């Protein structure tokens, strides 16, 4: 357990979140966290299965007196947006998240925290492990690869779940329930260009945009945060209006669902 989380309450929830965040779980690289969840369910002696695509399902019988209640499925996704600051040395394939507490916030040093959807996963883990919370029969569904295509949910095998009620714990506000989904779309734009030779006497410059806040392209897109790709494009457009300008390479952004916080151009 991360020592800086010991005093947070409820203790069981934060212990589970810390244990989860110690496991590398970048999108499309979820093997370690899948095994983590399988081990978690098996240690509780609960029926635990993994489907062909990698989703994990853990079932828990109802507590005494709740047997006649409808079965409820609780769902969260195991993967996280794996983004780091340009000056942070971190490998999402092998390292767990380095967390700390600052004022009223749990944060990560130089990387995304993984609360999306780790706090939902930890909440379900806490309920599965509890011996004090009355509940109907539960089915915990932990899907993979939500952040880069929802391939876990899309590939979920039929016949594995019996619940008539599903609660998705991937939300932004503790005091709200959302019915429905806005959906999403991916757009790939391609084009052709002709290369040119550099004129003798030309000077080369490397321009770097960094230190922006970044954020999730879903929940933070309306907040007016700087986009490193767009900012650099504005700089280049302004320069092209005053000087003869040629571009060697542009490399910016790293994830389809994250607002670019840094970019380098040469």
Q: Which residues are catalytic?
A: 79, 146
Give the C-alpha separation, 38 to 55, whole Å. 10
In this structure, how many other beta carbons lie within 10 angstroms of the beta carbon of residue 113? Answer: 19
Give the C-alpha separation, 260 to 56, whole Å. 31
Tell me if 82 sits within 8 A of 148, measured CB to CB: no
Name the pairing type of β-strands 263-265 and 250-252: antiparallel
Give the C-alpha separation, 209 to 186, whole Å. 25
């Amino acid at each position: 357990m991360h020592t800086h989380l010991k005093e947070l309450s409820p203790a069981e929830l934060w212990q589970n979140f810390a244990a989860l965040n110690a496991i590398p779980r970048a999108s499309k690289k979820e093997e370690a966290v899948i095994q983590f969840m399988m081990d978690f369910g098996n240690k509780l002696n609960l029926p635990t299965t993994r489907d062909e695509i990698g989703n994990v399902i853990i079932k828990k019988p109802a507590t005494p007196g709740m047997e006649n209640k409808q079965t409820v499925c609780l769902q969260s996704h195991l993967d996280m947006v794996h983004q780091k600051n340009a000056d942070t040395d971190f490998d999402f394939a092998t390292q767990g998240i380095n967390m700390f507490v600052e004022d009223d916030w749990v944060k990560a040093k130089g990387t995304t925290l993984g609360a999306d959807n780790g706090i939902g996963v930890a909440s379900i883990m806490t309920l599965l492990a509890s011996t004090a919370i009355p509940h109907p029969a539960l089915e915990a569904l932990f899907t993979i690869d939500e952040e880069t295509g929802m391939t876990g949910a899309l590939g979920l095998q039929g016949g594995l779940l019996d619940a008539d009620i599903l609660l998705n714990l991937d939300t932004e506000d503790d005091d709200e329930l959302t019915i429905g989904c806005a959906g999403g779309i991916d757009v790939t734009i391609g084009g052709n260009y002709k290369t040119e030779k550099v004129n003798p006497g030309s000077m080369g410059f490397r321009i770097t945009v960094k230190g922006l806040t970044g954020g999730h392209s879903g929940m933070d897109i309306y907040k007016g945060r700087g986009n490193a790709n767009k900012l650099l494009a504005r700089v280049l457009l302004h320069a092209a209006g005053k000087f003869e300008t040629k571009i060697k390479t542009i490399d910016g952004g790293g994830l389809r669902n994250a607002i670019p916080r840094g970019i380098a151009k040469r």
